[in-house]
C-alpha cells in the first residue's frame, strides 16, 4: 500500500495556522460519528484546528487516490476548471492541482464560513495560481454556482446531507459538470448504499460510469456487504497525539464514484480487486468484481507469470 503524503506547502501552511492549538479531536470525531454536519461540528478556531490536524490528511489521501484513477481511466482528460463542492478547507482542490497541474480556475463551494475562510488562507500557500486565486462561494451543494466546470469533486460532502437530499444534490452537481464528476464518501455501509442511489440516478441522467465498477448494472454485492477501499497516510506527531495513536500511519477507508460525460472515453477494466488479496505459498486468492459479477479467482504458483503479477496486486487494483 503506497503512502499518500500532504504537499510540503500545505503541511507548512497548516502548521502555521494552528500553531500549538490542535483543538479537540475527540469531540470532532464524536460529532462526525454522530453524523452531525460541519455547520455544527466545526464552528470555532479550535474546531477548525482539530479538523486540519486529524481529518484533512485522510480526506486528502483518499481524494488523491481517486483522482489518480481519473487521470489513468479517462483518456486525455486535462481539466481547466474545477468546482470543489463541499470544499471545507480546500482539501480536494489541493489534491486536484497535484494530479492536474494544468487547472486554470478553481471554485470553492461550502456552507461553513470558518472552513471556507481557512480554505482561502491555505490556498495562498499553493504554487498553483488557480488554487491561490480560487473563488470562494458560501452556499449549498443543491444550489451550486451557475458556471459549468470540466471537473467537479464532492469529497466527503454528500455524507452530511439527509437521505432525501443526496440524489438531488448529486444531480445538481452533474448539471454543472462538462467533463468528470467525482464523489468520495466514507467507506461505511450507510454511505455506500446512498452512493449506489446516486450512481443509479447519474446513470439515468446520461453519465457513463468510469470507476470503480467494471459494469454499469446494479451492484452485485449482497445487501449486507459494501464496496470500499483503503489508502494509507503517514501520521505526523501532532496527528498521533491528537488521536491518541501509537502507529506512524493511518488507513483511511472510503467509497467512491467517477462518472464522465459521453465521449470522454473511459478506459474500461475487466475486473477490480475488492478485498485484500490473500497470498499463500502456492496460490494467490483474489476477490474480484468483474464485468459478469463477483468472482473468486485463485492464481496458482504453477503459472509463474500470472502468480508473480497477482502477488503485486493490492486492494482496489484493476485487471486490464
Contact 87, 109 (CB under 8 A): yes
Cα 64 to Cα 308: distance, rounded to the nearest angstrom = 27
Q: pTM, whole model, 2 decimals?
A: 0.91
- Residue 216 has what pLDDT? 85
Q: Are residues 190 and 278 in the same domain?
A: no
Is residue 85 one of the residues assigned to a domain? yes
Give the tens place of pLDDT for each residue, 228-242.
999 987 766 665 555
What pLDDT sits at residue 279? 96
Collect the ranges in the chain with pLDDT lower than 50: 31
| pLDDT given for residue 34 in this prediction | 53
Q: Say whether both 47 and 126 belong to one domain.
A: yes
Contact (CB, 8 A) for 249 and 267: no
Listing DSSP states for 133-177 in one string gives: TPEEEE--TTS--S--EEEEEEES-GGGS-HHHHHHHHHHHHTTE
φ and ψ at residue 138, rounded to 5 degrees: -85, 110
Q: How many CA atoms lie within 13 A of 177 on its CB side?
A: 28
Residues 186 and 276 grouped into a single domain: no
Residue 142 lies in a domain: yes
How many structural domains comprise the chain? 2
> Which residues span the domain enclosing 62?
8-260
User: Does 55 fall in a domain?
Assistant: yes
Q: 193 and 279: one domain?
A: no
Q: How buried is residue 139: exposed, middle or buried, by Cβ count under 10 Å (0-12/13-18/19+)?
A: middle
Quote the pLDDT of residue 247: 59
pLDDT tens for residues 157-183? 999 999 999 999 999 999 999 999 999
Instruction: Find where cell 468483474 sits.
Output: 290
pLDDT of residue 181: 98
Give the CATH number for residue 256.
3.40.50.150
Question: Does any domain span residue 266?
Answer: no
Indicate left, alpha or beta for 19 from its phi (over 0: left) and psi (-120 to 50: alpha). Answer: left
CA dist., res. 131 & res. 90, Å (int): 9
Beta-bridged to residue 211, according to DSSP, are 258
d(CA 226, CA 279): 23
Cβ proximity of 185 and 256 under 8 Å? yes
Reference 125, options 15, 21, 235; nearest CA is 15
Amino acid at each position: 500500500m503506497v503512502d499518500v503524503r500532504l504537499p510540503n506547502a500545505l503541511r507548512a501552511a497548516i502548521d502555521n495556522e494552528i500553531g500549538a492549538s490542535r483543538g479537540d479531536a475527540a469531540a470532532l470525531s464524536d460529532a462526525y460519528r454522530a453524523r452531525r454536519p460541519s455547520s455544527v461540528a466545526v464552528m470555532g478556531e479550535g474546531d477548525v484546528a482539530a479538523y486540519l490536524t486529524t481529518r484533512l490528511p485522510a480526506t486528502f489521501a483518499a481524494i488523491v487516490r481517486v483522482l489518480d484513477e481519473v487521470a489513468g481511466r479517462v483518456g486525455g482528460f486535462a481539466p481547466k476548471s474545477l468546482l470543489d463542492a463541499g470544499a471545507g478547507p480546500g482539501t480536494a482542490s489541493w489534491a486536484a492541482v497535484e494530479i492536474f497541474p494544468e487547472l486554470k480556475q478553481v471554485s470553492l463551494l461550502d456552507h461553513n464560513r470558518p472552513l471556507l475562510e481557512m480554505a482561502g488562507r491555505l490556498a495562498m500557500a499553493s504554487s498553483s495560481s488557480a488554487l491561490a486565486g480560487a473563488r470562494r462561494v458560501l452556499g449549498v451543494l443543491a444550489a451550486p454556482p451557475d458556471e459549468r466546470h470540466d471537473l467537479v469533486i464532492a469529497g466527503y460532502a454528500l455524507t452530511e446531507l439527509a437521505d432525501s437530499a443526496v440524489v438531488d444534490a448529486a444531480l445538481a452537481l452533474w448539471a454543472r459538470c462538462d467533463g468528470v464528476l467525482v464523489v468520495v464518501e466514507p467507506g461505511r455501509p450507510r454511505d455506500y448504499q446512498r452512493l449506489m442511489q446516486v450512481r443509479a440516478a447519474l446513470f439515468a441522467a446520461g453519465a457513463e460510469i468510469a470507476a470503480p465498477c467494471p459494469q454499469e448494472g446494479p451492484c452485485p454485492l449482497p445487501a449486507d456487504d459494501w464496496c470500499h477501499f483503503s489508502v494509507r497516510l503517514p501520521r505526523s506527531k501532532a496527528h498521533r497525539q491528537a488521536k491518541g495513536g501509537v502507529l506512524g500511519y493511518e488507513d483511511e477507508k472510503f467509497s467512491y464514484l467517477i462518472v464522465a460525460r459521453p465521449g470522454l472515453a473511459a478506459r474500461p477494466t475487466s475486473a477490480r480487486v475488492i478485498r485484500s488479496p490473500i497470498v499463500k505459498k502456492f496460490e494467490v486468492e483474489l476477490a474480484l468484481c468483474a464485468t459478469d459479477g463477483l468472482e473468486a479467482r485463485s492464481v496458482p504458483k504453477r503459472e509463474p507469470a500470472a502468480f508473480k503479477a497477482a502477488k503485486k496486486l493490492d486492494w482496489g487494483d484493476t485487471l486490464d
